[in-house]
Chains A and B, each alone.
Chain A
Amino acid sequence: MTAQDYVPFRDRAAVAGIGRTAFSRDSGRSALALATEAARAAISDAGLRPDQIDGLVRCDMDQTTGAAMAGALALPDVQFSADVGVGGGAPCAMIGVAAAAVLSGQARHVLVWRALNGRSEGRLGAAIAPRVVAGGQASYDDFFTPYGLLTAPQSFALLAQRHRTLYGTTDEQFGAVAILCRDNANRTPHAQMNGKPLDMAGYLASRMISTPLRLFDCCLETDGAAAVVVTTTDRARDLAQTPALIRATAQAPAVGSGGGMMFPSITWTDPLALAAGPVAHRLWSRAGLGPQDIDVAQVYDCFTITILLQLEAYGLCAPGESGPFVQSGAVSADGRVPINTDGGNMSGGYIHGLNHLVEAVRQMRGTADVQKSGAETCLVTSGPVGMSSALVLRRDA
């Protein structure tokens, strides 16, 4: 398998419709109700009827099932369905699977969704695996949770500390990441943190969760849903919206990850390379593009440190230079490559990264609230630990 094999599939599938619910701390509704609302919005946005959806791609962690969605939307003829993981690494891989389905004739219009009551029903930032007997079956939790390493913030804090040790990354550089996301959220009406400005003093004053990560280094926990409709570019051009062309997708596990998911990341050969390194290499090869060709990016941001690491992994800056790079304004709204233009997971809403796809499509349509002027390409990344995925969208010429 070489990048050359991918060339015939560049730009041949597209995102034709996008939808989302409001993002909140307590939706008061079931995850299925959220999923249904976002799905109907995406289908309607594309100019389709629900009965024209014949493919379903679900995230393996979703609180809804494919069968429940087919029932809730009264889909009469689902010909293709897939569960794609892992968790936050899923969204761009889900789009890749949907594109494969429509390009191989297994479905015409594929619905991709993510729905969660991530705040009101089981907080994602809480202890991940608090089982009294930890480990077994290649979870490797036995090497971590009995020592009190219990949550996602704690695990990513170890990576953040390592970045500080190697590169001297400062509190203010982490803060610059949080603040740029918050600034974008404050210009995006649907963002959860809209109306709540953040400055460096406010960032530095936010309570420490697990050193060096503070509260505002962590993403939100959100109730909400997002959905997109994928079809072939040819079909999309006959639908209601200007298609966002799927230039290329890629996914990969971390090199040397040695099984397990998040906690073992600190034991990997190069913990800071994560899984994003091989994904980036594959993505640029398949797309025939490089970081210099990207106009705007939505970078998976469960924590500020994951933005810094991915800016390096995708070549937007050199290894170790992400802190000064963010401080320079290069990825701020008026910089060369604005990132997370709706506030992202940090300040917009945490729909486990599928929200990044919705925002990326808005950028390609020219309808984002923080619109990059003349944007023709958008990088999207999903979940840099364990399994990771990414894609490039292109505005239809």
Chain B
Amino acid sequence: MTDRLYPAAWDRDTGPFFTAAREGRLVFCACNACDRGLHVPTPSCRFCGSIDTSWRDARGTGTLYSWTTVTQQAHPAWPVPYTVVIVALDEAPEVRLTGCIPGAPALSAGQPMQVWFEDIGQGRTLPNWRPLQNGDLA
């Protein structure tokens, strides 16, 4: 087995994202003063400056914002080709989360995306993203 990279679960600013994922929940940090999403989750709001922020449950749907299909190997745990996707959350499109899809799928900007939870071992789970398929509850 090839060692992959694991998110630090101990970080107080970012850890709740991965703790929730372990429970099968997608959460995002939001500002309670101006109601906008904050990602990356800075301790104060990048829009209004408030320090009143909290983690909210997300529906788990979004749209494709950008992507890149990696064709030059950079790390043994990620055989090429694979495709990194950036997804804007439906309820807070200013929040753009990362996902990874094996291979080189045909993608188009704005297409609907669906979260899924990937157990990567070591007690860690990643919220991951794939194109919305027939049968998904959108």
Contacts and interface: CB of A to CB of B under 8 A. Distances in A.
A210 B68 contact: yes
Contacts of A157: 68
A249 B8 CA distance: 39
B68 A154 contact: yes
Given A135-B7, A142-B11, A150-B78, A158 B71 contact: no
A160 B84 CA distance: 13
Contacts of A330: none
B44 to A, nearest CB: 10
Contacts of B52: none
A136 interface: yes
B7 A210 contact: no
Nearest to A140: B40
A161 B67 contact: yes
Given A140-B14, A140-B40, A143-B97, A135 B71 contact: no
Interface stretch (A39-47, A260-268, A374-382): A260-268
B47 to A, nearest CB: 8
A196 interface: no
Interface residues of A, number: 46
A142 B8 contact: yes
Interface in B1-17: 3-8, 10-11, 13-14, 17
Given A134-B6, A142-B7, A162-B66, A210 B13 contact: no
A144 B5 CA distance: 10
B13 A138 contact: yes
B74 interface: yes
Interface stretch (A71-79, A125-133, A239-247, A277-285): A125-133
A196 B120 CA distance: 45
A132 B6 contact: yes
B32 to A, nearest CB: 17
Interface size class of B (residues with CB under 8 A): 35 or more
A304 B5 CA distance: 29
Given A146-B6, A162-B66, A258 B42 contact: yes
B96 interface: yes
Contacts of A162: 65-66
A159 B66 CA distance: 8
A160 B72 CA distance: 17
Contact of A267 (B39, B47, B70, B78): B39
Contacts of A140: 14, 40
A148 B3 CA distance: 12
A151 interface: yes
A158 B40 contact: no
Nearest to B3: A132
Contacts of B47: 256
Nearest to A166: B109
A207 interface: yes
A145 interface: yes
A137 interface: yes
A322 to B, nearest CB: 17
A209 interface: yes
Contact of B67 (A136, A150, A158): A158
A208 interface: yes
Contact of B74 (A127, A135, A137, A158): A127
B40 to A, nearest CB: 4
Contacts of B77: 148
A269 interface: yes
Contact of B78 (A133, A148, A161, A260): A148
B72 A147 contact: no
A211 interface: yes
A116 to B, nearest CB: 20
A264 B14 CA distance: 13
A127 B76 CA distance: 11
B7 A161 contact: no
27 contacts: A127-B74, A132-B6, A133-B5, A134-B6, A135-B14, A136-B14, A137-B11, A142-B8, A143-B7, A143-B39, A145-B5, A146-B6, A146-B120, A147-B126, A148-B82, A148-B100, A149-B100, A150-B74, A159-B66, A161-B67, A161-B68, A210-B70, A211-B69, A211-B104, A256-B46, A258-B39, A266-B86
Interface of A: 126-127, 130-138, 140, 142-151, 153-154, 157-162, 165, 207-213, 256, 258-260, 264, 266-267, 269
Interface of B: 3-8, 10-11, 13-14, 17-18, 38-40, 42, 46-47, 65-72, 74-75, 77-78, 82, 84, 86, 94-100, 104, 109, 120, 124, 126, 128
Top 7 A-B residue pairs of the complex, sorted by shortest distance between their CB atoms = A142-B7, A157-B68, A135-B8, A148-B78, A165-B109, A136-B8, A147-B100
